[in-house]
């Protein structure tokens, strides 16, 4: 071989070898990048110790696009032995999730996790100006002060007892009418009743159950559209470049909905203003009156008032209706428990010669245990309502969690953990009577369906008061039994964890005669 040919051959070989080496190196680096513990978003984290200290699946998950992400994440935490804390990625969003009470409490009570991540849909639907998603700061503290002092105080909750009881009895009458024709689809009645209850407390308005095209049905459509938009898995939340395009049409639908919300809620606020100006009666009959009566330091603008009131309608309707449906599904399946509950209610209402009232609830420990056990097995917000945002670098246990990380608690995993609960899959309300009592108000993370810490649900006491009374009224007035089909306890996580197939059953009226 001539020197020229030798040089040409080996230079070409070196060039090919270098290109092959570079390609292989790039491939290995890319694979290693995507296979990093915690996945794609964690691989971008600057400090290498952050990438490897928290166990978790590699790659980028699309877990929130499935129907049961709480179950998927619970299984992954068990697989990676990461119940205290697991890292994972969704697109370029970094997540950690805890499936253990001690670590969960550390996250939820830490000032480092005082913010919430705001999805595009939540922002567009005004919730960044309401209590649930407002950034941690003076505005949020003012909203919190208003809610605890004026909106959800024990006195205010007690003042709405007549409203709760009246709507509960309206639902009883509606169910009697429907039951005469066959099976009852529970969710339809309870959801409209729950919406009516919220409207009465928030706006002082009430609607006819049989009204077809009135304000009640219009508002129900607005709320349903909002539920769907907030529950959609939006890729734009996790891939920043997609925010320019609105491929899923979420932004367009949100803006159309907000326009209707502003008109509807704004109109009710204006009616209240006119009424206040034309009368000397300064009594605060509903939440709009309360907000309009706030003094200078606490006073809200009209746009912020709309956001706060819209969130109340939204949150108050969803959780109560879904929880009552789950309780009644369990009563259909567990006739012995239903009979025991009816017996307890009869014992405090003079053998059902008078309707149940709020004052009876403290004397009904079994009713409270039934609701508590339902919350344990079917927590309405097993994941999504728990999201927090790290506002600065923070240690959770031995692990460093960088600023901007979304932290979650898998309450469903905790409430189904055999190391915490005896026979966790069994529906047994007696566990809260015979054994250790567990508070559900946020202090005990073994069962905290309303959250804990700074972002605990402010309306939890009012929600529980409503659920206890309505469940009691349903059991006092009906025997709930199966129809031709079995009760399907399959679940689907949308905005809340709902029954995948709405409960359809028979409601047999009891022979009660109130004096």
pLDDT in tens, 422-481: 999 999 999 999 887 899 999 999 999 999 999 999 999 999 999 999 999 999 999 999
Quick count: other Cβ atoms within 10 Å of Cβ 148? 11
Find where tokens 């079995």 sit: 486
Asked whether 110 and 401 are in contact (CB, 8 A), the reply is no
457 is known to lie in a ligand binding site: yes
- What integer pLDDT is reported at residue 430 of this predicted model? 97
For 460-473, what is the HEC assignment? HHHHHHHHHHHHHH
pLDDT in tens, 20-64: 544 554 444 455 455 667 878 888 775 544 444 799 998 877 888
For 21-45, what is the HEC assignment? HHHHHHHHHHHHHHCCCCCHHHHCC
Residue 204 pLDDT exceeds 50: yes
Average pLDDT over residues 194-212: 83
Find where tokens 């009012």 sit: 462
Domain 100-509 bears CATH identifier 1.10.630.10 = yes
Residue 507 pLDDT exceeds 90: yes
Question: How does the average pLDDT of the chain come out, rounded?
Answer: 88
- What integer pLDDT is reported at residue 4 of this predicted model? 46
Confidence of residue 157 (pLDDT cuts 50, 70, 90): very high
Which contiguous run of DSSP H or E holds residue 406?
A: strand 406-409
Pick the closest to residue 193 from 214, 212, 218, 175 (CA basis).
175
Judged by average pLDDT, the poorest of 171-180, 201-210, 221-230, 493-502 is: 201-210
Extents of the domains making up the chain: 100-509
């Amino acid at each position: 071989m001539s020197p020229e040919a030798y040089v040409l051959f080996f230079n070409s070989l070196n060039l090919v070898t270098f290109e092959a080496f570079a390609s292989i190196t790039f491939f290995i680096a890319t694979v290693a990048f995507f296979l990093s513990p915690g996945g794609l978003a964690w691989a971008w984290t600057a400090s290498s110790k952050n990438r490897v200290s928290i166990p978790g699946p590699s790659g980028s998950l699309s877990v929130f696009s499935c129907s049961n992400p709480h179950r998927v994440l619970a299984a992954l935490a068990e697989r990676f032995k990461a119940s205290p804390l697991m890292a994972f990625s969704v697109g370029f969003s970094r997540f950690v999730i805890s499936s253990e009470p001690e670590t969960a409490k550390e996250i939820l009570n830490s000032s480092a996790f005082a913010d919430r991540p705001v999805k595009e849909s939540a922002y567009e639907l005004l919730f960044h100006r309401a209590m649930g998603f407002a950034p941690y700061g003076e505005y949020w503290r003012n909203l919190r002060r208003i809610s605890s002092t004026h909106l959800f105080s024990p006195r205010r909750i007690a003042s709405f007892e007549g409203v709760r009881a009246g709507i509960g009895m309206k639902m009883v009458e509606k169910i009697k009418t429907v039951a005469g024709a066959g099976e009852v689809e529970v969710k339809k009645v309870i959801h409209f009743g729950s919406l009516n209850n919220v409207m009465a407390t928030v706006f002082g308005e009430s609607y006819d159950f049989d009204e077809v095209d009135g304000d009640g049905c219009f508002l129900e459509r607005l709320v349903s559209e909002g539920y769907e938009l907030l529950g959609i898995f939006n890729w734009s939340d996790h891939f920043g470049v997609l925010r320019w395009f609105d491929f899923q049409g979420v932004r367009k639908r949100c803006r159309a909905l907000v326009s209707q919300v502003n008109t509807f809620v704004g109109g009710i606020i204006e009616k209240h203003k006119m009424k206040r100006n034309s009368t000397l009666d300064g009594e605060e009959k509903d939440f709009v009156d309360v907000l309009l009566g706030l003094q200078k330091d606490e006073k809200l603008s009209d746009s912020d008032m709309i956001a706060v009131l819209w969130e109340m309608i939204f949150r108050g309707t969803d959780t109560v209706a879904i929880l009552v449906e789950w309780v009644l599904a369990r009563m259909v399946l567990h006739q012995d428990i239903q009979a025991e509950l009816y017996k307890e209610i009869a014992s405090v209402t003079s053998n059902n010669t008078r309707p149940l009232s709020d004052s009876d609830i403290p004397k009904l420990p079994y009713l409270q245990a039934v609701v508590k056990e339902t919350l344990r097995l079917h927590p309405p917000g097993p994941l999504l309502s728990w999201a927090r945002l790290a506002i600065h670098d923070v240690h959770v246990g031995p692990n460093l969690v960088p600023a901007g990380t979304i932290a979650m608690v898998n309450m469903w995993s905790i409430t189904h953990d055999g190391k915490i609960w005896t026979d966790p899959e069994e529906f047994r309300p007696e566990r809260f009577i015979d054994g250790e009592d567990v508070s559900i108000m946020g202090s005990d993370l073994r069962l905290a369906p309303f959250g804990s810490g700074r972002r605990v649900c402010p309306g939890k006491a009012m929600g529980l008061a409503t659920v206890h009374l309505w469940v009691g009224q349903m059991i006092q007035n009906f025997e709930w039994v199966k129809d031709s089909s079995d009760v399907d306890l399959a679940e689907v996580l949308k905005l809340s964890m709902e029954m995948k197939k709405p409960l359809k059953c028979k409601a047999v009226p009891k022979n009660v005669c109130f004096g």
